[in-house]
Structure 1
């Protein structure tokens, strides 16, 4: 299938469409056509099969958890191993629909995923973008799940030259703006001069709440990754 309009593939590790995401990122796409697919689009998480589906995608023993959003607005805790084939299939569906580049919308660490076109990883885009902006200043990172805390600190400390502190706050919780603001306040109080909301689930509304609470600059993973990925997709010539 050919398309005249350049497209950016958006692969969530949860389910598409991400109705919580598009409002924040559409103004950043510069006319690109968004193509959304989710790693869990084929899985059913309600009814009698729901618990079985959650067990099938859960982290293995000792594996750092991931968390993402389902179509109904609830969240699910995930493992990398279970996601690998599902993510590969979602990337392929984006490319089949004409994506000039595809963005993996997860700031967790992922092994390489097969793709025929450029596949961009939100983790790398966000981490190295923050490094370029923050330099050697201390950085506070807000992550979604308490079980990710040490893994997130280790991965960020491997990239940033300054001190890294981490606090958890679930972006899919009903009181997320307040809990994100509380985490931001703790990080700023401990000396962080920049904050990063390190999950695609954090929104512009949550960034604003964190900024008011902490009174330091707050960088948002979803918009930072999409800005850079849109540059890559825009540079690709549409298929004819």
Structure 2
């Protein structure tokens, strides 16, 4: 019998069949997952309305047809708030399926932001040293470096998208060569195979956000 309901809110379109099976396997079969997406209300013809302008923060996410698209944060936020407001009514806790920051979202239920979990975990494990980041888009480099500078760490980044053919292993090896002590795959789109490739090529600890936050949520919803 289901005893807890987890809302999964993606910035793209739901369902995220590339991510939620990983989460379900960790939180357990007693937890029901209900998905929603910031772009769910848009038609194929209107998706262009959320493409980023030059000034905007750029995110990338997956569409229902398996393709990916770049999204402008300022255009996404109102859509995301509408979806979150409805999703909360049907769930006990919500997971934001993005490692970006969303401080303006209003919630009435507990919500897990992966970027906060990642930041605190890295601070606890690696209070000093060198952190390597693998990120999806070159356009994200500057703002992601600024986000991670909250920690007293040397930072290096490499770009390798989780949504298309890219050299995750090569990016991880490059970060090792630059002196990284640990690597974060800084997007919820990265999967277990990406992590395995990064570990194998670098020999370093590699943090995968989707499984990390799923384990945090499993503690919250655990019956034992």
Q: TM class, shorter-chain normalised? A: over 0.9
Query: Shift of residue 130 of structure 1?
Result: 2.0
- 2:92 aligns to what SS in structure 1? strand
Q: CA–CA distance in 2 between the matches of 1:207 and 1:42?
A: 32
1:93 aligns with 2:75: no
User: CA RMSD, aligned part only?
Assistant: 1.7
- 1:68 aligns to what SS in structure 2? strand
Counterpart among 56, 63, 83 of residue 70 in structure 1: 63
- 2:43 aligns to what SS in structure 1? coil
Query: Shift of residue 226 of structure 1?
Result: 2.1
Q: Which residue number corresponds to residue 123 of structure 2?
A: 131
1:60 aligns with 2:50: no
After the TM superposition, list the runs of 4 or more consecutive aligned residues in structure 1 that deviate by more than 6 angstroms: none
Query: Shift of residue 165 of structure 1?
Result: 1.0
- 1:230 aligns to what SS in structure 2? helix
Aligned length: 222
TM-score by length of 1: 0.87
Q: Which has the higher contact order (CA 8 A, sep 6+)?
A: 1
TM-score by length of 2: 0.92
Q: Which residue number corresponds to residue 6 of structure 1?
A: 4
Counterpart among 73, 77, 83 of residue 84 in structure 1: 77
Q: CA–CA distance in 1 between the matches of 2:162 and 2:92?
A: 29
Q: Which residue number corresponds to residue 222 of structure 1?
A: 210
Counterpart among 183, 199, 223 of residue 195 in structure 1: 183
Query: Shift of residue 25 of structure 1?
Result: 1.6
Gap regions ≥5 residues in structure 1? 236-240
